[in-house]
Structures are given as C-alpha cells and as structure tokens.
Amino acid sequence: MYLSKSRYCAAVQCPKILWLKTNKPEEFDDSVMNEAVLKTGSEVGDLAMGLFGDFVEVPFSRNLQEMIDETDRLMQEAVPIIAEASFSYNGAFCSVDILKNLGDNNVELYEVKSATSVHEIYYHDVAYQCYVLSKLGYTVTRACVVHINNEYERHGELDIQQLFTIVDVTSEADVLYSDVEDRLAMIENYMKQTDDPDQEIGLQCFDPYECGFFGYCTRELPKPNIFDIASLRKKKKIECLCRGIVSFEDILDHKPIDSKYLKQVEFEIKDLPAEIHKDGIQRFLDTLSYPLYFLDFETFMPAVPLYDNSHPYEQITFQYSLHFIEEEGGELKHKEYLAYPGEDPRRGLAEQLCRDIPMNVCTIAYNRGFERGRIKGMARVYPDLADHLMNIHDNIVDLMLPFQSKDYYCKAMRGSYSIKYVLPALFPDDPALDYHNLEGVQNGGEAMDTFARMAKMELDEIEEWREHLLKYCELDTFAMVKIWEKLIEVCG
C-alpha cells in the first residue's frame, strides 16, 4: 500500500484519521468537505503549473507505478519543468506539484496551495516530499510553497506571476525532515491495530482541518454536550472535556463558561419558554423608518480574479433581492437583480441598486456587516456611484441586533443569532419559510456554487438555475420581512 502526501499530513494531524479512513471510511462525514474548495484547489494547481514557463505534466493514473515510470522517463530526458512528478520510496509516494529538474539529480520542488498564506501543516507536507526525493538520491536544493497572493488586483490579462507568492520553506522542511522517518514507522505500527485505536479528542480534531470523524469519535458522549454550545471557542470546549464537564447538566452544575453561553444550556435543560424583552425590541424598532427596504446580497468568491479591479477570493456580489414597503400599512413590493455569468456583475448590480434604493432611506439587512462590506467595495471600484452607494451603506440597520442582544431568545435558537437558527425558531411550522422546500438552491453556499457553475452551462440550463437563484434570494428578504413583523407583533 502506498502512503500519499495527503495521507501523511492526515496522520500528522491525528493518526486515527488515517486508521479510520482505511478501516471505517463509511463513518466519515462528508459535510466537512467543501466541493467548491476542492475544485478551487485543482484549478489553482493547474494554473500554477505554468509559473516557470513550459512544462510537461505527468498524467494522472490510478496505477501509480505508471506515473512513477513516466516521471523517471522525463527525468532521464532532462525535461526541466515537470508537473505532478511522481516518486515513491519504500511505499511513501508523492506527486510534486511542480518540480524543477536542474540536472545531476538536483531538484527544486514547489508545493502549490490555494490558501493565501503558509500554514504549519505545509512544512510537514514539503518535508515528506523532501524525504522521499532524498531517499531516492536527489538533492532538493530548494523547497517552496506557492500560494495565492490576495493583494494582487487584476488589471487586464491575468498575471500569474503576481497571482502567486513563492515562499522558500527549505529550512522549515529541514527541521522536520528527521521526524519523517520516525513518523512513517509510527504510522506503520499504528495501522496494524485491529481495534479502534484509543485517541483522546483534542484540538487536533479541528486544526488544521475539521475532522470528518468527529461525530464518530464523540458518539458515546451524552447529547447535547459541550460541543453543541454555539460560538464557544474550541479550546474552551476541549478544556471542559478534559475536566470531565461534558453534558449540559455538568455545565449547569459547574458553570465553567461565561454566562452568555449558559443561556443556551439553561433554556435546554429547564425547557424554558421564549424570553422577550419588549423594551429592547421596541428601541430597535424605533430606529426604523418608512420607506423600509429589506436587502440581501448573494456573492461568490473566485480564487482567481475574473474581473478587473478585483482580488483573489474577493466576495463578488452577483445578485440581490429587495423587498420594500413605502409607508405604514403599505403594500409589500419586490425588486431583484441577478447577473448573467461571463460579465462582471458588479457594475450592473451597483447601478440598479442605486435606482432601486433611493438616498436617505432606511435599509434593513440581517448581519449588515456583510452587505455594507460589499457596498463599500463597489463604491471603491465605481467612484461615480460612490455617493449614492455610501448613502445606502450608512443607512443600513441590522435586523440581527434584537437576537444578538438576546432581547428575543428561545430554546430553538440553540444559542445562535444567525438567521439560519432564528427563522425556524420563530416560524417552526411555516412551509413558505422553509428553505428545504426550495428547488435547486437552498443556502448561500449552493447559491455561490451555482453562479460559478453557470459560466459553463448552456443557455436553457442557465435560465433554469436563474429561477432557482431568484427564488432562493427572494426568500431571504421575505424571511426578513416576516422576522420584522414578528418583532412588531411581540411588542404589540
């Protein structure tokens, strides 16, 4: 059996991950894997291959020996740049993202990451590759991590020299080099275990990556438990676990956490009714004035900037929904914008937003920091619209406030003030407000992914998915209207 660099890194995080992947793969919770992130990683990897000019790529094969043989052939032919150059020593296999073949068995290796900085786990990744290559008689003269430079701003043609940052990690990998052999021996022994290995839950379950076996490894803990406390830091949760404070009953007995987190526990254990502070809610409602505009944006975050004046991973707004009521008791009206793929969506959207929302009106968003951030970004790129955009920006009120301050709290919010929890808590049986009843797009992540995918769709398919996106975003602002109405109702 071959060990790959990703499996090696998984074992660095926690050897039980590797054991479970091999012995109980069905227990892995896929929801920790983000398909879009994986796709981004592969697109970025493909793009980075051209960083040093012409290259030859070793084609992927399930038969790793074919990749190793092809690499060997290319090395013999003195091909100077090889992508996915593949090697194996004693069962330890690696494909080097980009290999510079300098001759006389001297090589430089480049590990490409779609992240925007160097994380510690990358040193282990590179050290493992250096180990394999050194054992095969190569001298790694330089080992680098190539990552996305999020300060790059695109103007015209994509400049991959600017898009990527190359960080020399030779010395960091050297420090870890001597660990590799010991770790490989440890992995070999560890994998011989026939029963579930004993492994304490710890910070390694979340860092550097969220572990998909967490549900399996914590299956015997009481439910709900310390890990169900919303927003509490992971470190604190682990500390409590180590002290034996696990169940909500334990938490209430020992009160090891700040009182703001205890509300969730108390409501759950004592089955308390909703807590509603009318004064606080009324103070919030008094900050609103007609006409009222309920605004929600959808964005996507291309790792590789697609448009001029945009950065890697910039949140590009491609859609909004806007419900509005012009005067008290007035009719609820709706407007919306959804760009077509292929064009920079921001200009058209910003222009229509300025037409749809007049100056000096009250706009409501849920978690307004997000909408404000996007509007500010558009104001920077389009100075001619900046006055109007910043006027909208300055007049946005946050509908999240009464829930964040716990002026309105109930058990079903489970300690959270995110709309994802607040909406079903306020309207548990309303199918019109249930995102699960939507077709195609049911959450922001799917909206993001759908818009990115539309770039490669045929026109009729685009129209079909546009319908799904429009319905989804419309529900976002309709839900905000209902939440606002509920606040009025409970104060009445």
20 is a site residue for ligand SF4 (CB under 6 A): yes
Cβ distance 156 to 169 under 8 Å?
A: no
Q: Which is nearer to ligand SF4, 22 or 178 (CB)?
A: 22
Number of residues that bind ligand SF4 (CB under 6 A): 12
Q: Using the rule CB under 6 A, which residue among 211, 413, 426, 480 binds ligand SF4?
A: 211
Q: Is 16 in the site for ligand SF4 (CB under 6 A)?
A: yes
Alpha-carbon gap, residue 384 to 406, rounded angstroms: 40
User: Under the criterion CB under 6 A, does residue 18 sit at the interface with ligand SF4?
Assistant: no
Give the residue, chosen from 88, 204, 264, 310, that forms a contact with ligand SF4 under the rule CB under 6 A.
204
Name which of 230, 285, 363 is nearest 276 in CA terms: 285
- Give the residue with the Cβ less far from ligand SF4, 14 or 322: 14
Contact region with ligand SF4 (CB under 6 A), list: 11-19, 128-136, 259-267, 400-408: 11-19
Binding region for ligand SF4 (CB under 6 A) out of 39-47, 64-72, 201-209, 355-363? 201-209
Edge-to-edge, what's the strand order for the sheet holding 81-89?
56-57, 81-89, 92-103, 106-112, 139-148, 164-168
- Interface residue with ligand SF4 among 199, 352, 405, 418 (CB under 6 A) is 199
State how far the Cα of 312 lies from the Cα of 236, in Å rounded to an integer.
33
Q: Which is nearer to ligand SF4, 14 or 481 (CB)?
A: 14
Stretch that binds ligand SF4, among 149-157, 213-221, 322-330, 370-378 (CB under 6 A): 213-221
Residue 227 as a binder of ligand SF4 (CB under 6 A): the answer is no
Nearer to ligand SF4, 235 or 333 (CB): 235
| Region binding ligand SF4 by CB under 6 A among candidate stretches 37-45, 203-211, 219-227, 252-260 | 203-211
Binding residue for ligand SF4 (CB under 6 A) from 143, 176, 205, 392?
A: 205
148 vs 314: CA distance, rounded Å: 12
HSE of 480, CA atoms in CB hemisphere, 13 A: 29
Q: Provide the residue count of the chain.
A: 492
How many other CB atoms are found less than 10 A from the CB of residue 378? 22
- Does residue 294 bind ligand SF4 (CB under 6 A)? no
- Contact between 12 and ligand SF4 per CB under 6 A: no
Give the separation between CA 65 and CA 58, rounded to whole angstroms: 12
Strands (E), 370-417: 396-398, 408-409
241 makes contact with ligand SF4 (CB under 6 A): no
Residues 102, 108 contacting (CB under 8 angstroms): yes
Q: Hey, what's the torsion of the CAs at 453, 455, 459, 464, to 10 degrees?
A: 30
What is d(CA 180, CA 12) in angstroms, rounded to the nearest whole number?
Answer: 10
368 binds ligand SF4 (CB under 6 A): no
Q: Kindly state whether residue 180 participates in binding ligand SF4, applying the rule CB under 6 A.
A: no
Give the residues lining the site for ligand SF4 (CB under 6 A). Answer: 14, 16-17, 20, 199, 201, 204-205, 211, 213-214, 217
